Amino acid sequence: MKATSRFICSLILGAAALAAGLPGAVALAADAPKQQNSKAVGKILKDVQDNDLKNKRYADAINKLKEAQNTSGKTPYDQHLINDMLGFCYAHTNDYADAAKSWEAAIDDGFYPPADQSTRIRALSQAFYQVKNYDKAIEYGQRALKGGFGDAETPKIVAQSYYLKGDWKNTLHFEEPLIEAAIKNGGSPSNEALQLVLGACVKLDDGACVTKTLEKLVTYYPKPEYWYQLLYSLTRDTANSDTNTLQVFRLMLETDVLKSADDYIEMSQLAMDAGSPGEAQRVLQRGFEKNVFSDQRSKDKAQRLLDKAKQKSAADQATLDKAAREAGASQTGVKNNAMGIAYFGYGQYDKAVEQFSQAISKGQLKNAAETQLDLGISQLKAGHKDDAIKSFKAVKGEPVLERLASLWALHAREK
């Protein structure tokens, strides 16, 4: 994670309040007992203010302020103004280490009005962030947030400081409530915040945390790379179930994140095994169109499988009408489910919807959750988005299929 230019701009803008306040600060010396300048230091500070700061000669200002630092007889208020003006000048020369050192020396000396102290506390958090003193950046950032005067950059600094110092648990502890609050209030969490949480989840090797965060990323920022990470993470949860693996592959194909030759070949084989040679044929043909079979071995294997799928499809389609009649006469939904799978594979989605609906109505299915999911996918492919979303919400009973259904619903809303 790198600092953004916004942090630097915010730092300078925050410090700029000092320049506007200096004339009054020096002039008050005779009116406020605590705010007294010694004659010698007051003269130097007035010169710095009227000449060097006005003309943006920050290096000259720093030299004169160091001279004032070494002048004997300084009052506490002299020292406060020297530190504050040095912080301002160092910030304008991008010397954030010395800016932070100077402001920190003045922050709690009792001379800042509340508004100015708030500005300097935010500036301190930003300055310490720039010099990679993340503990201090967190300290002052949290102080600003708890005091109610943090700005839009403050939580970003705190969260990134936790991350960059390797405190992954506190990164999550700090950032996740902000993300949930944004969602609860009807807004969208920032991509930056979600990426930070995802990075912490990965560092903690927390698979559930990774998946949960990726689901939020595809919800609010449905980019192909996020779908790719999420769905490939789900393949770990489906390793022992060919049925569920095929369902993950279907969503990967739909979101155009099925990439490797092996995945295309495995998906087509799983489709064949599931009684959907038409789907196997379409998957392999798409793989050839996208040139995913780059080496001769995978080309030959894919071609053999494609030839087999074509043969099976031709024989299968010749019996579809008869099989559909038998399914219609059946007392259970098993044959209707098989017909739905067949029609789905051949791209006849309205017929697939009809068969899956009958299967669910009749019942006695081997995996009702899968049939419900297949119904939703068929409805979506047939152009019935609202019905599809309702079907996805009705998928119950198997955690992986429920998660896939919610992801299909997300994808449906993108359309």
Which string of DSSP letters, residue by residue, matches 66-82? HHHHT-TT--HHHHHHH
Provide the pLDDT for residue 33. Answer: 46
Sort 242 into a burial class: Cβ within 10 Å, 0-12 / 13-18 / 19+.
middle
Provide the pLDDT for residue 28. Answer: 35
What CA–CA distance (Å, rounded) separates 221 from 251?
17
CATH class of 229-414: mainly alpha
Residues 6+ apart with CB under 8 A from 251: 231, 404, 407, 408, 411
Spans of all domains in the chain? 5-165, 171-221, 229-414
**Residue-by-residue pLDDT tens, the chain, 415 positions:** 444 344 444 444 444 443 333 433 433 333 444 678 899 999 999 999 999 999 999 999 999 999 999 999 999 999 999 999 999 999 999 999 999 999 999 999 989 889 989 999 999 999 999 999 999 999 999 999 999 999 999 999 999 999 999 999 999 999 999 999 999 999 999 999 999 999 999 999 998 899 899 999 999 998 999 999 999 888 777 777 899 999 999 999 999 999 999 999 999 999 999 999 999 999 999 999 999 999 999 999 999 999 999 999 999 998 998 999 999 999 999 999 999 999 999 999 999 999 999 999 999 999 999 999 999 999 999 999 999 999 999 999 889 899 999 999 999 988 7
| Same fold across 5-165 and 229-414 | yes
The domain at 5-165 falls in which architecture? Alpha Horseshoe (1.25)
